[in-house]
């Protein structure tokens, strides 16, 4: 790794501290370097608050060093007046010596304009440093802006035979561990979705009680509104979107989205795009998961397996493993929750 890559790697590390907390904004980290020494660092914490570059600039003690410094940022500095003024203008105004960018920002409002402002001001700017890693960091943000739909993660638990096991019942020890792991997965994403059967069978609240984090927006697919309002998915802990074929409108923290049963996934994608939902984790059940697979609407699958580890003293310890697969890693038709 060369020095530019090392500093962008640090930007990525910083950015990741806010995973799950910046929606609908991206994860961004920034580092300011003077004569081979880091003199400032920052990352974007939350939508509406300072961008990464501004937090890095604010952390520099001796501002006189800035015109002799390079600012590293994992995403192209913004060029627009949004909730905050454009970072590219701030960089121009302070007269940095050089700007090093990880990935360009495909958001319509930026899309090369930030880099151009900087270059037009006579500041050297390079981009595409650890580009793949920076794109991966913001896979949710990029998928949302480029595909006009959220990044979709399928999640299920498997039994030994490789098929989804509805009766997956881990023992007490692994139960706590699995719960914590699942709550962390939820906290990382902007929204979480289940179908009618899962809501009725398991009565989940779909919140992140066992970890620190923001509760995702809950999405329930319930065409005939069979799930009673007293069920946990409707509690006040988070917002709930209900895709249904009965009514439209908002009632307190519940939003009803009316759709037909055919092609409802496309209506759902449109609604989620309008709501600026950047990612969604599908927690089942098997019928719902299969519908996303059949429509080819997914990006990643996370599979949890319940296993028993053989310990050295001969006893069995309950354990679980988890694997994340990118869609490209699956061959056609490899996933089916139904045995033929």
Catalytic residues: 53
Q: Is 183 left (phi over 0), alpha (psi -120 to 50) or beta?
A: alpha
Describe the strand order of the beta sheet including 300-310 as a list of residue ranges.
249-251, 254-258, 240-244, 217-221, 191-195, 279-282, 151-158, 300-310, 316-326
Size of the site for ligand AOF (CB under 6 A): 17
Size of the site for Zn ion (CB under 5 A): 3
Q: Is 51 in the site for Zn ion (CB under 5 A)?
A: yes
Quick one: how far is CA 49 from the chain centroid? 18
165 appears as a binding residue in the annotation:
no
Residues 75-94 that bind ligand AOF (CB under 6 A): 75, 77-78, 82-84, 87
101 near 71, Cβ under 8 Å? no
Question: Which residues does 239 contact at the CB level (< 8 Å), separation at least 6?
Answer: 217, 218, 253, 254, 255
Residue from 41, 105, 275, 283 touching ligand AOF (CB under 6 A): that is 105
Minimum gap (Å) between residue 56 Cβ and Zn ion: 11
Choosing among Zn ion, ligand AOF, none, which partner's interface includes residue 127 (Cβ < 5 to 8 Å by kind)?
A: none
Minimum gap (Å) between residue 89 Cβ and ligand AOF: 12
| Choice between 88 and 233, CB closer to ligand AOF | 88
| Choice between 18 and 227, CB closer to ligand AOF | 18
Q: Is 124 left (phi over 0), alpha (psi -120 to 50) or beta?
A: beta
Residues 160-189 that bind ligand AOF (CB under 6 A): none
What DSSP designation does 164 have? Answer: B
Minimum gap (Å) between residue 272 Cβ and ligand AOF: 16
186 appears as a binding residue in the annotation:
yes
Minimum gap (Å) between residue 223 Cβ and Zn ion: 42
Could you give the residue ranges of the DSSP H alpha helices within the chain?
3-16, 52-58, 87-94, 113-120, 131-137, 139-147, 172-188, 196-202, 264-274, 286-294
d(CA 202, CA 252): 24
Choosing among Zn ion, ligand AOF, none, which partner's interface includes residue 285 (Cβ < 5 to 8 Å by kind)?
A: none
Q: Is 44 in the site for ligand AOF (CB under 6 A)?
A: yes
2 near 129, Cβ under 8 Å? no
Q: Is 28 in the site for ligand AOF (CB under 6 A)?
A: yes
Choosing among ligand AOF, Zn ion, none, which partner's interface includes residue 150 (Cβ < 5 to 8 Å by kind)?
A: none
Q: Is 73 in the site for Zn ion (CB under 5 A)?
A: no
145 appears as a binding residue in the annotation:
no
Q: Is 78 in the site for Zn ion (CB under 5 A)?
A: yes
Minimum gap (Å) between residue 22 Cβ and Zn ion: 12
Residue from 14, 20, 33, 51 touching ligand AOF (CB under 6 A): that is 51
154 near 126, Cβ under 8 Å? no
Choosing among Zn ion, ligand AOF, none, which partner's interface includes residue 216 (Cβ < 5 to 8 Å by kind)?
A: none
d(CA 284, CA 288): 6
Question: What are all long-range contacts of 179-184, with beta carbons under 8 Å and residues at least 24 apart?
Answer: 179/210, 180/210, 180/211, 181/304, 181/320, 181/322, 182/155, 182/304, 183/207, 183/208, 183/209, 183/210, 183/211, 183/213, 184/208, 184/211, 184/213
Residue from 15, 57, 73, 87 touching Zn ion (CB under 5 A): that is 87
Choosing among ligand AOF, Zn ion, none, which partner's interface includes residue 195 (Cβ < 5 to 8 Å by kind)?
A: none
Where on the chain is the footprint of Zn ion (CB under 5 A)? 51, 78, 87
Where on the chain is the footprint of ligand AOF (CB under 6 A)? 25-26, 28, 44, 47, 51-52, 75, 77-78, 82-84, 87, 105, 107, 110
């Amino acid at each position: 790794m060369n020095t530019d890559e090392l500093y962008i790697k640090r930007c990525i590390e910083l950015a990741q501290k806010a995973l799950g907390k910046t929606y609908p904004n991206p994860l961004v980290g920034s580092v300011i370097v003077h004569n081979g020494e880091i003199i400032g660092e920052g990352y974007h914490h939350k939508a509406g608050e300072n961008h990464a570059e501004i937090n890095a600039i604010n952390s520099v003690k001796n501002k006189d060093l800035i015109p002799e410094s390079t600012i590293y940022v994992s995403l192209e500095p913004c060029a627009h007046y949004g909730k905050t003024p454009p970072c590219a203008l701030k960089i121009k105004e302070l007269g940095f010596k050089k700007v090093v960018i990880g990935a360009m920002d495909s958001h319509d409002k930026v899309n090369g304009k930030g880099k151009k402002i900087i270059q037009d001001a006579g500041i050297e700017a390079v981009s595409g440093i650890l580009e793949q890693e920076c794109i991966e960091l913001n896979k949710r943000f990029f998928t949302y802006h480029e595909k006009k739909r959220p990044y979709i993660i399928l999640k299920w638990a498997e039994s030994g035979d490789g098929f989804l096991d509805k009766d997956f019942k881990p023992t007490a020890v692994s139960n706590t561990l699995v719960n914590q792991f699942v709550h962390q997965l939820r906290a990382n994403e902007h929204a979480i979705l289940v179908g009618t059967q899962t809501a009725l069978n398991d009565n989940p609240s779909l919140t992140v009680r066992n970890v620190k984090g923001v509760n995702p927006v809950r999405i329930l697919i319930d065409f005939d509104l069979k799930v009673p309002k007293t069920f946990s998915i409707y509690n006040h802990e988070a917002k709930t979107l209900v895709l249904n074929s009965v009514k439209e409108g908002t009632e307190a923290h519940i939003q009803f989205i009316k759709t037909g049963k055919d092609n409802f996934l496309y209506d759902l994608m449109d609604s989620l795009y309008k709501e600026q939902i950047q990612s969604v984790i599908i927690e089942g059940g098997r019928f719902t998961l299969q519908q996303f697979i059949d429509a080819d609407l997914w990006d990643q699958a996370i599979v949890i397996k319940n296993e028993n580890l053989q310990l050295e003293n001969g006893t069995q310890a309950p354990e679980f493993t988890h694997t994340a697969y990118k869609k490209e890693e699956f061959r056609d038709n490899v996933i089916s929750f139904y045995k033929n």
